[in-house]
Each structure stands twice: as C-alpha cells, then as structure tokens.
Structure 1
C-alpha cells in the first residue's frame, strides 16, 4: 500500500506504520518540529549566550576595555550565562562567552566589567 511522506508528501511503499520515505525526511521533519518550539531551555540558554557574546564584542574593539556594568545589563547582557572561565595567577576569575571574557570589578565605587579577548596563553 502506498502512502504519502509526512515531510515531503511523496508517495512511497514500506512497512505498516512507516511515516517517512527516507531517513532524511524523518530527520528534517523532527528538526523542523523542534526548531518551532521556541521555549526550550536549550534555545533560551543558547540565545542568551549569543546575545552576551554580541554585546561583549560590540564593547570590546581594542581587546581590553572597562565598561560600566549597568550599561551592559541595559543592553540585555546577563552575567549568569557564560561558556567557560579562566583564572589568572592572581586568582582573578574571568568568565567567557566564547572568545570574549569579562571580570567584575569595582572602580571609584562603581560596578564595572573589565572586558578581554581570549588569548593563547590562557589555554595553559
């Protein structure tokens, strides 16, 4: 008995209960279905990490800069989301969103972030 594929709508033959004409169509169908689920935890985290990276990249053109914390937060930056961290010899911890890092500090009684870009010596 021939039936139509749930993804591409082509006619195909196969075992009873088979819904897709190929593994490609099956995979594409589920990919599309999951892509449309906007509220998945993974998507929220991924979106925030990408947003954090974009903001850090925008403010850190020179490789090392200090920015007021409130300015980044207003842009949508969330310091709770980072991909990894690096601890220097002084014990200071830099949090990174991919290759762009930040460390919170207090300067003249104002909360700021020191922004850096990942360097090869940090991998040691």
Structure 2
C-alpha cells in the first residue's frame, strides 16, 4: 500500500518514502526560506540593523566634526538613541553616546530638543 501526500511547497503529489515532505531539494529550500522570512526578526539582527541605520544617519548629518541638529530631524529618519555601541564622558561630566565613530549628546536649547553630533577623536581614548 502506497501513501501519497502533497509537497509542502508546490503541492505536487509525492511518491516514495512515507515521511517525505517535499518533491525535490529546491522545494525544500524554498519552503524553509519562506518559513524563515515569516519568523519575527531575531534580536541581534534588530540591534545590528538599528546600529547601522543610526551610524548612517549620524554620518550623513555630521560632515563638519561637530554639529547641532534638532532631534526631530534624526528621529523622523528612524534614528533610535537607545541603540549605541559605547560612550565617552567629557570633563564637564556630559556623556556622549557613540555609534562606532559617530557620537551624539542630547541637549535642550530654548525649549527644543537637539543633538550635538561629534566624531570620535584620538584624545577620547
């Protein structure tokens, strides 16, 4: 007695082993790829992607080495200040958060939230 099932990917009728799920390796690979795409993003991927986005935004807006910009501009582009790679504390006690070589410090000036953007310098080591 032969038991026939359908391929989980393409729906084609399967022949052969009773525990067979796919008609060929391509269907198996396509099924696994689709299944993985539907899974929620893994935490480290989310962190890595946000760090990359933050760095890209900071790099784009800090062409001069030190710049002040309204926080809304960065936040509207997807910048998330909770994601950073390290920090540096200056002599005044202000803590700059860094995304690799690009740093930022949150400030409120005239009632508006801003970020002071800096680039890592050798003296910060």
TM-score by length of 2: 0.69
Runs of at least 4 residues off by over 3 Å? 35-38
Which residue is equivalent to 1:114? 116
Point out where structure 2 has 5 or more consecutive residues left out of the alignment.
1-32
Which residue is equivalent to 1:76? 78
Which residue is equivalent to 1:67? 69
CA distance in structure 1 between the partners assigned to 2:79 and 2:71 by the alignment: 9
- Larger Rg, first or second structure (1 or 2): 2
Which residue is equivalent to 2:90? 88
Match of 2:58 among 51, 56, 59: 56
Aligned residues: 92
Q: Where does 1:12-27 land on structure 2 (aligned, <5 Å)?
A: none
Point out where structure 1 has 5 or more consecutive residues left out of the alignment.
1-32
Alignment root-mean-square deviation, CA: 2.0
